[in-house]
Structure 1
């Protein structure tokens, strides 16, 4: 098992993760049916997002929270959806990588999911 230490590693991780996401019974509809994700645009954004999160490269420009609010208005993004997202992410990280950055990738994803789940819940109540 190798360490997570480069942009190429992030690309492998993100690509492997989204291969699971797009066929997952719990969360695939958010990506495939509601957001109609353009993968040619989305994947490079996710590479930059995780490169920024893990390596401080500041290559990501965007507002991940803002992108999710319109989706949440169409179909509620609930705790179970974020739990599944984290489960798939954690499995993918652990299948491919080891070490401090791999642990950080899981930790950061868990925190991102908690914050997003909280904010999506608040938005639904307003």
Structure 2
């Protein structure tokens, strides 16, 4: 990325930004040799439904537009995932944000994703619900 590209990037401000973030991030996850098989085996042909849910989740978190209801941890509780999976997931997430956005909401998205990964790992290690 050129410096001028970075300077022209906008922050996450509206639903179209959330949609871009979610779609680009999960595109990378689906193609990842470690994460892709896990996600693809669980989600199968329901990617549209999953992506819509993830858009609503991040819309709620970052834009305070309360469209998501549910527990983000519960679906992940029985997945075969460990610390290295979370590191890979965060790497893709942060790369996606850095490639497309710059600003306080972009920074918040990365911080929230890191905190979520830490919380999920803690709950998985302690068999929490």
Q: Same fold (TM over 0.5)?
A: yes
Q: Compute the displacement of 1:70 (Å).
A: 2.8
1:23 matches 2:35: no
TM-score with structure 2 setting the length:
0.87
Question: Higher helix fraction: Structure 1 or Structure 2?
Answer: 1
Which runs of 5 or more structure 2 residues have no equivalent in the other structure?
1-8
1:83 matches 2:87: yes
Match of 1:42 in 2: 50
Match of 1:58 in 2: 66
Match of 1:121 in 2: 125
TM-score with structure 1 setting the length:
0.89
Match of 2:106 in 1: 102
Q: Compute the displacement of 1:28 (Å).
A: 1.1
Which runs of 5 or more structure 1 residues have no equivalent in the other structure?
none
Cα RMSD after superposing both structures: 1.4
Asked if the contact 2:21–2:96 (Cα under 8 Å) also holds between the matched residues in 1, the reply is yes
Asked if the contact 2:43–2:50 (Cα under 8 Å) also holds between the matched residues in 1, the reply is no
